């Protein structure tokens, strides 16, 4: 029996979407859907909800929960990863509250920045444990990583984990629909090319019937900037640097040194930047979950429509050899020629029986590549810290981060990192 293993299956709604999609995919019927999570209550919830869904979909997939990770992985054809190490309490709180004492404010803190660095440092050891299990019990599996920080974790799994890994993010799929809806443009028939790094990939080309749509997009964006809206940072970046970015404004506000600045507090209001956005979302989701849990668990008539998540389409393309195109995070094997070869990049990929095959992009516009490199610097130094165990590379990663370095002195950055290391305690390995 072929097998799809879901690590972090306690992410119940996401597991329902991804594995519900699999239940509705003809080529995946008869697969075992193996669930693993370290939280037994959430694991059981997911098993029960997916069992209800199996009945209503008429799927022949077999649902099994595991408390032994290696057994969950044994013989897997595909692995889906959706873990969060440390959760909201204590680790997300730590990532936000300690930097605030230094005057360093964040919005999401899950990619780069001081929050992204420490999320990586506590997640990389767990991912490498996963990799060791995969190499032992399912070495031919494709590993689909949905966990942030996407670029670093996907990089680590490929380079140091020895596991065939592709990172998947919603931002590429959402880019054109969100932009065109915001500007009142019709997206049917639009052709687009997107490439860069995760959360900072660029809409390089956008056209319809051979006509370049960027002049109209920029004209409408400039007009919209005269009023408050939710995407002011990305529009500003596009108007200044020439290209639209895939990930949201709340994310991109903290990827650059231009927007969250103590010396210019008026920028927060001007660009409508939601400081502390991720903790607010966490509190809201936690409060909502109990109500949602009862609704899902008690619904014997639970239904599901196939979503636009890439996972089931990737599995289907590999199983049937029917090609499917995705935006995937992969190692830069000469794909983007003016970004470092050590980087993980986000590029168009073709999926078929051969697996996930990335496509050549060439040079990005020089200003786009330069902005990408500012984030890649921090990503690569974070990996260096995790792999070598040397604390100095944590400092280097933070000192090279665009937002952190724009706000704090080097001495304060070192002190902040030391405070975060101490506060994380056993959530981090020892650093020398």
Residue 119's nearest CA partner among 394, 311, 393 is 394
Tokens of 15: 């597991």
CATH number, residue 179: 3.90.1820.10
The catalytic residues are: 170
Domain range holding 318? 88-107+170-275+309-432
The neighbour count for residue 262, using CB atoms within 10 Å, is: 11
Looking at the structure, tell me whether residues 164 and 189 fall in a common domain.
Answer: no
Looking at the structure, tell me whether residues 214 and 344 fall in a common domain.
Answer: yes
Residue for token pair 């090609």? 323
Q: Are strands 32-36 and 62-66 parallel, antiparallel or unpaired?
A: parallel
**Per-residue pLDDT of the chain in tens (432 residues, 90 and over written 9):** 899 999 999 999 999 999 999 999 999 999 999 999 999 999 999 999 999 999 999 999 999 999 999 999 999 999 999 999 999 999 999 999 999 999 999 999 999 999 999 999 999 999 999 999 999 999 999 999 999 999 999 999 999 999 999 999 999 999 999 999 999 999 999 999 999 999 999 999 999 999 999 999 999 999 999 999 999 999 999 999 999 999 999 999 999 999 999 999 999 999 999 999 999 999 999 999 989 998 999 898 999 999 999 999 999 999 999 999 999 999 999 999 999 999 999 999 999 999 999 999 999 999 999 999 999 999 999 999 999 999 999 999 999 999 999 999 999 999 999 999 999 999 999 999
Estimate to the nearest angstrom the gap between the alpha carbon of 410 and the chain centroid: 29
Query: How far is residue 199 from each of residues 167, 178, 191, 229, 329, measured CA to CA in Å?
Result: 12, 15, 20, 20, 10
Looking at the structure, tell me whether residues 156 and 194 fall in a common domain.
Answer: no
Q: Where is 349: in which H helix or E strand?
A: strand 344-352
Measured N-to-C along each axis, helices 391-400 and 410-424 cross at an angle, to the nearest 10 degrees, of: 130
Whether 320 contacts 27, CB under 8 Å: yes
Instruction: Report the C-alpha gap between 93 and 331 in whole angstroms.
Output: 32
Tokens of 191: 């052709």
Instruction: Report the C-alpha gap between 57 and 2 in whole angstroms.
Output: 19
The reported pTM is 0.98
Domains held by the chain: number? 2
Looking at the structure, tell me whether residues 37 and 118 fall in a common domain.
Answer: yes
């Amino acid at each position: 029996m072929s097998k799809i293993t879901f690590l972090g299956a306690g992410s119940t709604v996401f597991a329902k979407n991804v594995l519900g999609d699999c239940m509705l995919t003809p080529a995946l019927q008869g697969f075992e859907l193996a669930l693993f999570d370290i939280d037994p209550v959430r694991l059981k919830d997911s098993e029960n909800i997916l069992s209800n869904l199996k009945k209503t979909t008429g799927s022949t997939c077999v649902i099994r929960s595991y408390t032994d990770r290696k057994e969950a992985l044994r013989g897997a054809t595909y692995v889906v990863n959706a873990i969060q190490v440390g959760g909201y309490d204590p680790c997300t709180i730590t990532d936000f509250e300690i930097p605030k004492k230094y005057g360093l404010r964040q919005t999401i803190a899950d990619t780069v920045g001081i929050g992204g660095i420490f999320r990586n440092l506590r997640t990389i050891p767990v991912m490498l444990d996963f990799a060791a299990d995969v190499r032992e019990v399912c070495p031919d599996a494709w590993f689909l990583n949905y966990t942030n920080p996407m670029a670093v974790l996907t990089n680590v799994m490929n380079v140091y984990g020895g596991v065939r890994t592709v990172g998947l993010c919603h931002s590429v799929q959402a880019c054109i629909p969100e932009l065109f809806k915001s500007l009142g443009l019709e997206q049917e028939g639009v052709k687009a090319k997107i490439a860069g790094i995760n959360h900072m990939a660029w809409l390089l080309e956008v056209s319809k019937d051979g006509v370049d749509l960027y002049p109209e997009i920029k004209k409408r964006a400039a007009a919209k900037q005269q009023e408050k809206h939710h995407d002011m940072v990305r529009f500003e970046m596009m108007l200044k640097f020439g290209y639209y970015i895939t990930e949201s404004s709340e994310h991109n506000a903290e990827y650059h040194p231009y927007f969250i600045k103590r010396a210019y507090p008026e920028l927060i209001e001007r660009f409508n930047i939601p400081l502390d956005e991720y903790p607010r979302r966490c509190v809201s989701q936690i409060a909502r979950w109990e109500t949602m849990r009862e609704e899902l668990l008690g619904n014997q008539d639970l239904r599901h429509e196939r979503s636009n998540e890439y996972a089931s389409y990737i599995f289907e393309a590999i199983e049937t050899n029917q090609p499917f195109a995705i935006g995937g995070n992969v190692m830069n094997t000469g794909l983007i020629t003016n970004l470092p070869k050590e980087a993980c990049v986000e590029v168009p990929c073709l999926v078929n029986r051969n697996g996930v095959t990335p496509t050549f992009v060439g040079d990005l516009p020089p200003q786009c590549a330069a902005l990408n490199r500012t984030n890649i610097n921090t990503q690569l130094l974070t990996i260096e810290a995790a792999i070598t165990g040397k604390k100095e590379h944590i400092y280097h990663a933070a000192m090279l981060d665009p937002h952190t370095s724009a706000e704090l002195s080097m001495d304060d950055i070192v002190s902040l990192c030391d405070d975060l290391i101490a506060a994380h305690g056993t959530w981090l390995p020892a650093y020398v």
